[in-house]
Amino acid sequence: MSGSTASPSRTPGPRSYGSGAAILSVGIGATGLITFAYFSLASYSLSEDEYGQITLLWSAMFITVSVLYRPVEQLLSRTIADRDARGTKGLEHLRVAATIQLSLAAVFVAAALVLRGPIEDDLLGDSTTLYWILVVGVLAYAASYFARGFLAGHHQFGLYSALVLLEASSRCVFALAVAVGIAEGQSAVALGMAAAPIVSLAVVPPALARRLSPAGRGAGEEPEPGLLDAASRDEPAPREPQFTLGRGAGFAAAVLLIMLCEQTFLNAGPLLVKAGEGAHGAALAGFTFNVLLIARAPLQLFQAVQTSILPHLTRLRAGGETDPFRRSVNLTLRAIAGFAACVALVMLAVGPPVMGVLFGGDFDYERGGLVLVAIGMGLYLSAATLNQALLAHGRARQASASWASAAIAFVLFLLVVSFDDRVLQVEVAFLGAAAVLASLLYALYRRA
C-alpha cells in the first residue's frame, strides 16, 4: 500500500459502533421526520398535479445523486477507516476520490444539457425552473457526499449528523414558507431541494479545522482505532493492495451499480406508474410515492447504521477479527427484524387513517398493501446491512451482480405483469424483489 505506515493501536469494539450509530440515529432520525414534514406541507400547499411534479423532481434528483455520488462516499468511508486501522499516512486516497467525484459531476452536466428537452418537457412538465433546480441541486450534492464520506471514515459522526440535519431543515423551511403564505407556488417548494445541500456545507470548515489541528484531532470523536496485536487476532489481517485511481474507480463503479439498483427499487415504481397512467399519472405517482415512504423514511433512519457500520466492519476486517465482525452483522439483522415487525403491526392497525391524515388527497390507502411494504422494508434493510458487510470484505463486484439481478426482476415484473391496481402491483413487486435481494446477498455473505 502506498504511503507511510505508523504504529497501529487498537481495534474498536462494539461500543465504538454503537455510540456512532446512536449519534447518527438522533440526527438522521430527526432528518427523516423533517423530510416527512416537507412532503406533508407540500402535499397540503399544492394541487395534486403540482405535488406529483415535486415528488418526481425529488425522485429524479435523488436517483441521480445517490447513483453518482454515494459510491465516492462509500469509497472514502471504507478507505479512510482501513488506512486509519493500519496506520497508513498520505493523501492519495482523497485525491483519487476527488478526481472520481469531479468526473462524475462533469458527466452529469453534459448529460443534463444534452437531454434538457426530455427532462424539462416530459419529466418536469415544461418547467424551466424545475430543470435548473435539478441541475444546481445535483451539482451541490457532489460536495455534500464527499464531505459525508470524509466525516464517516474519520468517525466524526456528530458533524455528519449536523450536516444531514441542516440539509433537511433548510429544505423544509421553503415548504413551510409556502404553507404559511410567506411564499407561494411549486417553484418555491422545489427551490429548497437546491438550497439544502449548499447550506449543509457549513459544517465542512469545523470538520477540516478539527482534522488539521493536532490539539483537536480527537476532540468529540471516538478514538482512532488501529490493528490488534498479532496474538489477539482471530486470523491474519488481509493485506490491501496499493490504492490507485484504477482500484478506486473499480470499487466506485461497482457501488455505482448498487446505487442505481437501490434507486430503482425506491423510485422506479412512481415513475412507471406516471408513464402508464396518462393525464392523471402525476397524481397517481404522488400517491404511490407516499406509500413507498413507509420504506423510504426508515431507510433515512437506517443511514445511521449504514454510515457507522461500514467503517466499523472495515476496521474489524483490517484487524482480522472475524467473531466481532459476525456479531455486529447479526445484531443489526435482529434489530431490523424487530423494527420491521413493529412497523407492520402499526400499518395493520392504523395505517390507512394515519396515511390519510398525513397526506390528504382523494386516494384510499389499502391496509394490506401498507403491510406488504412494511415487510419489504425489513427485507430491504437486511439486504443493505449484508451489502455493507460485503463492501467491508472488498466484495463490491459480487454484491453489485446480486443487486442488478433483483432490480431487473423488479422492473420486469412492473412492465410485463398487469395488475388492475397499479399501486398494489408496485407493493407486491417491492416485497418480492427485496426478498430475492436479501437471499442473494446472504448467500454471498456466508461464502465471504
Residue extents of the structural domains in the chain: 14-221+243-447
5 three-state secondary structure: strand
- Spell out, as residue ranges, where the chain has pLDDT lower than 50: 1-14, 215-233
Backbone angles phi, psi at 88, to 5 degrees: -85, 135
Per DSSP, helices labelled H in 4-47 are: 14-45
* pLDDT at residue 315, as a whole number: 83
Query: Could you tell me if 303 and 73 are in contact, meaning their C-beta atoms sit under 8 angstroms apart?
Result: no
100: its cell numbers:
472520481
Burial grade of 215 (CB within 10 A; 0-12, 13-18, 19 or more): exposed
Exposure b/e, 273-302, CB count within 10 A at least 16 = b: bbeeeeeebbbbbbbbbbbbbbbbbbbbbb
19 three-state secondary structure: helix
Q: How far is CA 392 from CA 65, 111, 263, 266, 389, in A?
A: 22, 32, 21, 24, 5
Q: Hey, which residues does 5 pair with through a beta bridge?
A: 88
At 39-69, the pLDDT tens digits run 889 888 888 888 888 888 988 898 888 889 9
